Amino acid sequence: MTQDHGKQLQPAGIKKAFLTHEVESQALAEGNLEMKSDFSTQSASRKVLGIPVAQLRDLYRLMVRIRFAEEAIAELVRDEAINSDGELVYDTQGRVVRIKKQINCPCHLCTGQEAIPVGMCAHLSQDDYVFGNHRSHGHYLAKGGGLFEMMAELFGRAEGCAGGRGGSMHLVDVDVGIPGTTPIVASSISHAVGAALATHICGGKRVTVSFFGDGATEAGRFHEGLIFAAYHKLPIVFVCENNLYSSHIRLEERRLVDNLAAYAAPAGMPGICANGNNLFEVYHHAKEAIDRARSGAGPSLLEFRTYRLHGHVGANLDLEKGIRNRMEFDLWRERDPLRFLEEKLLSHGVLTQALLEEMKAEVQKEVDGAIEYARSSPEPQSSELLTNSLSFTSEPCPHAPVVRKASERPGDRDHDKITYGEVNSPWYVGNSTTGLHRRFGTRRVIETPVSEDSITGAVVGAAMAGMRPILIHPRMDFALLAVEQLVGQAANWRYMTAGKVQVPLVARLIVNRGGEQGAQHSQSLQAMFAHVPGLIVVMPATAYDAKGLLISSVLSNDPVIYIDDRWAYGESESVPKEVYTLPLGKGLIRCEGSDVTVVATSYMNRRALEAAEVLRKEGITVEVIDPRTIKPIDTALIVTSVAKTGRLLVADGGWDAYGFTAEVAAVVAESPVVSSLKAPVRRFGLPPCPAPASAPLEKAYYGSVNTLVQAIRELVRFSG
């Protein structure tokens, strides 16, 4: 495939950069938008317009299946009455007559766009991946996803492809290469890039196809994904289904130039624009791009022009509210890809009218059967509400690690004395990645100074494709660009696919506080991530824990946010050379005491130990707990300690308000131990303002061992 293909498809004599609907329709009528190749010269007995006849019949049936399914779904989601002309029915007071819909989840129908998924998937095997979006019924069915399971999912049933957890926008069928779809626009482009990266790293001939709309090309992650995929020559095909609308906004109301396929060139890949309503055109471009990806030559961008015959979401046509006009709609209805194909099949003798009708009747029966199956399927049990949020399972380590007990600490046999930060960046990540490039090569150790969103999404996709990637955001602040991928995608995927797909990634986020860096290079956002149900959050305090917890995090089948605080990097201790794991969710008493319990995370734990030492000389004994895992929190350890001491101070490097310190206070407040407290719970986190830059303000902001000692002393002396 070359850029020239795209040029061939530009209508002759049209100089305007922007191809308006009118110009386009004229060009189509004149045949200028048709493929240049004259397929009709090929033998009709073997191939018609370049497609084997047997396959052509199958592709037609598939297009009918998608069309009939969508039309049936339209009636099931309809909640406004229409008359026989398809117009809304109003009551005597001028209100639209409402009807009860049978499918409640929002459905974005792909009626009119069927040729694109069908033409693309014609060249894919079950091993290949397809990543879709909110409008993915067609992608799912074309790739071989089960119609019955899809329909049951739309009805929210337990036997739906996502167990009723996903609905229309989260279709999944791992057996046929659909790791799931997501409605967050352009998000799955990054996932597809990650899955292709997994193939690139692990070898094999698997190709990934990423389907997205024209709106998605206006998102940064689209461009980031293209640049990355082209540079690494990933086996992926980017398919833009340009239906000329993003939600209710037309293409020419959003951009000055109509040139989506042109984005391929600056990224460094071939791109074409073709007629997506012509199955033959899609089929041949798809073959070329997929062959190219499979051969190792790298990605391509295919822009297919099309039009959705339904409105953006649901049964309406978007004519009712004036979003689209009747003329445009009728024009595109004339270009219906199914009718176009039927005409070709009839004129080339692939099918007779009778056979065509017979096939349609069979498909209609199949769709009716799927609806019946969905209706009669059981609903999910509410007792299973929490199932599959987190798995709490781990993979065995290939190196047979020593499993350390939660209470175990470093011994001194066969140990290296190393600093926390030692475990090839000159300044960002301590020395913790030194030598990885040399040892594992640049195929596995990839550096990207920016593109945080897209790379995090790629890591999510690679994890879906079976890898256990470790992603480092050298400053937690930069990970804010990737929050959607961590919070919206990684955390939710297991749940919304009913446990069929897991995302076992480790996102190592480094807090870089201090040094007058100011608000945007200092944030410690563990509470924000811990708030999210599908994430585990780890915060080691020592070098020994940093290694054991990192290995456990990699082996965990859940996504883990592994947070380092740079202020802990200088601490050195002896660490076993062997591979060992530490249990996630288990804390540790670092220092025993009976007067007060101090729960302290990461570098604050070191400060708490120093404070305990100072207070011991005053006759106050402090029990210092290191939770090690922020979520799930080791409630039993904390509550048992507080039952003994009757006092609690929580120290953390994040903000108090709505923070980790607040959570631990709530854990104790909700436990019976609350009635035996001798003093109110005290919090020792950050005050409610952003991190300041200048040194005196920083000093006041972060506190010190002395201020911590003072706070603990006040707590112990509290007399009510």
**119 interacts with Mg ion by CB under 5 A:** no
Min separation Cβ 241 and ligand TPP, Å: 6
Could you say which of ligand TPP, Mg ion, none residue 134 binds, taking C-beta under 5 to 8 angstroms by partner kind? ligand TPP
Two structure tokens written together for 364: 């209609």
Maximum distance among all Cα pairs of the chain, rounded to whole angstroms: 98
Site for ligand TPP in 369-388 (CB under 6 A): none
Applying CB under 6 A, among 247, 295, 353, 520 the residue interacting with ligand TPP is 247
Q: For 524, what's the count of Cα atoms within 13 Å in the CB-facing half-sphere?
A: 32
**656 interacts with Mg ion by CB under 5 A:** no
Torsion-angle region of 604 (φ positive above 0: left; ψ -120 to 50: alpha; else: beta): alpha
Per CB under 6 A, the segment of 245-253, 341-349, 442-450, 560-568 that binds ligand TPP is 245-253
Torsion-angle region of 473 (φ positive above 0: left; ψ -120 to 50: alpha; else: beta): beta
Distance separating alpha carbons of residues 8 and 20, to the nearest angstrom: 18
621 neighbors 570 (Cβ within 8 angstroms): no
Site for ligand TPP in 295-324 (CB under 6 A): 312
**243 interacts with ligand TPP by CB under 6 A:** yes
Mark whether 521 is an active-site residue: yes
Instruction: Report how many residues bind Mg ion under the rule CB under 5 A.
Output: 5
Contacts of 608 (CB under 8 A, 6+ apart): 590, 598, 600, 622, 624, 651, 708
Q: Which is nearer to ligand TPP, 136 or 377 (CB)?
A: 136
Per CB under 6 A, the segment of 182-190, 405-413, 443-451, 702-710 that binds ligand TPP is 182-190
Q: Which is nearer to Mg ion, 261 or 709 (CB)?
A: 261
| Per-residue contact flags (x/-) with Mg ion for residues 242 to 261, judged by CB under 5 A | -x-xx---------------
Place of tokens 């300690």: 641
**215 interacts with ligand TPP by CB under 6 A:** yes
Distance separating alpha carbons of residues 147 and 160, to the nearest angstrom: 10
Applying CB under 6 A, among 119, 163, 179, 213 the residue interacting with ligand TPP is 213
CB atoms within 10 A of CB 250: 15
At residue 671's C-alpha, the angle toward residues 666 and 677, to 5°, is 85
Site for ligand TPP in 115-134 (CB under 6 A): 134
Do β-strands 648-655 and 682-686 pair in parallel, antiparallel, or remain unpaired? parallel
Site for Mg ion in 203-242 (CB under 5 A): 213-214
**492 interacts with ligand TPP by CB under 6 A:** no
509 neighbors 473 (Cβ within 8 angstroms): yes
Per CB under 6 A, the segment of 47-55, 242-250, 315-323, 454-462 that binds ligand TPP is 242-250
**184 interacts with ligand TPP by CB under 6 A:** yes
- Calculate Rg over the CA atoms of the chain: 30
Min separation Cβ 549 and Mg ion, Å: 44
Min separation Cβ 283 and Mg ion, Å: 22
Instruction: Report how many residues bind ligand TPP under the rule CB under 6 A.
Output: 16
The DSSP secondary-structure symbol of 45 reads T
Q: Which is nearer to Mg ion, 214 or 288 (CB)?
A: 214
Applying CB under 6 A, among 111, 168, 210, 246 the residue interacting with ligand TPP is 246
- Report residue 514: phi and psi, to 5°: 85, 180
Applying CB under 6 A, among 214, 318, 342, 698 the residue interacting with ligand TPP is 214
Which residue is nearest to ligand TPP, using beta carbons? 213
**260 interacts with ligand TPP by CB under 6 A:** no
Q: For 367, what's the count of Cα atoms within 13 Å in the CB-facing half-sphere?
A: 23
Question: Nearest-CA neighbor of 320 among 79, 599, 61, 638?
Answer: 79
Three-state DSSP at 115 gives helix
Min separation Cβ 243 and ligand TPP, Å: 5
Question: Nearest-CA neighbor of 664 among 709, 630, 711, 702?
Answer: 630
Per CB under 6 A, the segment of 98-106, 238-246, 684-692, 701-709 that binds ligand TPP is 238-246
Q: Which is nearer to ligand TPP, 488 or 514 (CB)?
A: 488
Contacts of 138 (CB under 8 A, 6+ apart): 66, 70, 110, 113, 114, 116, 117, 118
CA 710 to chain centre: 45
**10 interacts with ligand TPP by CB under 6 A:** no
Min separation Cβ 395 and ligand TPP, Å: 32
390 neighbors 560 (Cβ within 8 angstroms): no
Min separation Cβ 215 and Mg ion, Å: 5
By CB atoms closer than 10 A (0-12, 13-18, 19+), residue 720 is: exposed
Q: Which is nearer to ligand TPP, 239 or 537 (CB)?
A: 239
**285 interacts with ligand TPP by CB under 6 A:** no
| Residue of 21, 170, 521, 531 marked active site | 521
Contacts of 404 (CB under 8 A, 6+ apart): 548, 580, 581, 582
**185 interacts with ligand TPP by CB under 6 A:** yes
The DSSP secondary-structure symbol of 444 reads T
Residues that bind Mg ion (CB under 5 A): 213-214, 243, 245-246
Residues that bind ligand TPP (CB under 6 A): 108, 134-135, 183-185, 212-216, 243, 245-247, 312
Catalytic residues: 521
